[in-house]
Amino acid sequence: MGLLATLCCAPVLLLPQQPAPPPALPMLQHEIVLAEGVDPVPLAAFGLGEGGIDAVNAPGSLRWSDAGCTTPGGVRVQCLAVGVKFVFPSGRELLLASDGHLHLRSGEKAGPFPFGAELRLGDGTMVRVVLAQGQSDRLRDVIVVHGERMLQPWRRGSPDREPGRAGFWGGIRLCCCGDGGELYRAIALGPLVVLDRVLVAKERLEATPTERLVVLTAPLLAAMKLMTRQHNQADPDLRDSVRAVAATAARGEAIFPAGAALQRAEPDELRWLLRGGYELQLDLDGDLAPRLALFAGRSQKPVVEWALQRSPGAYLPNPHDQPGASRWHGNGTRMIAVAADLQVRAELFEYGQALRVVQRLRK
């Protein structure tokens, strides 16, 4: 049975008048969630909490405060002799010490990060802490950015109160999730964000996942829609494949609801259940790996595949299976860029780090 026929035989897929169930609420222990392709990606889209901010009673703007500044979400950033202290409205306290270690008041620590770190907060604020090498006073610069506003409470080893300049950052990026003290390193492979937990309080150890995958769906769906306009040959099998892609793209928001947490289709495969009888698979081997592949149920051939590394693109599987045929038809469809600030950096060997995190999900 052809792919289009398979789709047509599944009545749940072809009843747009049937109301879709509400999106599943993200549960902390799920290993993969769906998110829209908003750039920059808000931390709340990771399904790991709001980051300990106060969206109701917070000041609502980045402003100077005692020993540093306070972010729009109410996080106090204080530059002290021992390092940079973060006090979250949730009550959580975090210290990036001058020796490069991250500390929670409850005693847990992570690191060291000898050159400092860039911390992303739940209200969209970025705090960059730069540590100097070979000096007794290690704390070099602290820059706090929210939108177009930049403050620099610490400059060249001393307190300051001047507008900051973000400049280039080539170091580690960490996301403050949960109550603010659950830190994850975020590395994006195209539209796939890989999160690796680096710090959590002991009492939250079992409640937070060690790793989390976040699929940014906007570029996937946009590439599918563009793909249907690029393949217009008269071959009937190819037209069937293109119509299957078009039918899927038309229901894209229902199949890929933002905020949904996915369940495994098989315990020993990186394959998850989607709405409407579809399944999403992550392949780490073969051509243009790693790849995401979308299947109509347990079909052996995917509807479409998305290559995630180098120049991310969507590929239409070749409808012809004769020996020697290429895996895909055509040269692929470019995907729109997302999560530009989180994309893998070769100089930090982040590609291998991201793959190691994904490999841990192979149970």
CB 164, CB 109: distance < 8 Å: no
Tens-place pLDDT, residues 184-225? 999 999 999 999 999 999 999 988 999 999 999 999 999 999
The domain limits of the chain are 3-42+215-342, 63-209
pTM: 0.87
Q: What are the pLDDT digits (tens) for 268-327?
A: 889 999 999 999 999 998 888 999 999 997 788 899 999 998 789 999 888 777 776 687
Helix (H) or strand (E) holding 238: helix 236-250
**What does the alpha-carbon distance between residue 122 and residue 101 come to, in Å, rounded to a whole number?**
21
Q: What is the mean pLDDT of residues 51-76?
A: 90
Q: What is the pLDDT of residues 140-179, one digit of tens each?
A: 999 999 998 999 999 988 888 878 777 778 889 999 999 9
**Of the listed ranges 13-27, 100-114, 249-263, 276-290, the one predicted with least confidence:** 13-27
Distance CA 111, CA 101 (A): 5
Contacts of 10 (CB under 8 A, 6+ apart): 276, 277, 296, 297
pLDDT score of 234: 67
- Helix/strand/coil for 310: coil
User: Which residues fall within 8 angstroms of residue 137, CB to CB, at 6 or more apart?
Assistant: 98, 157
Residue 136: per-residue pLDDT:
67
Count CA within 13 A, CB hemisphere, residue 64: 11
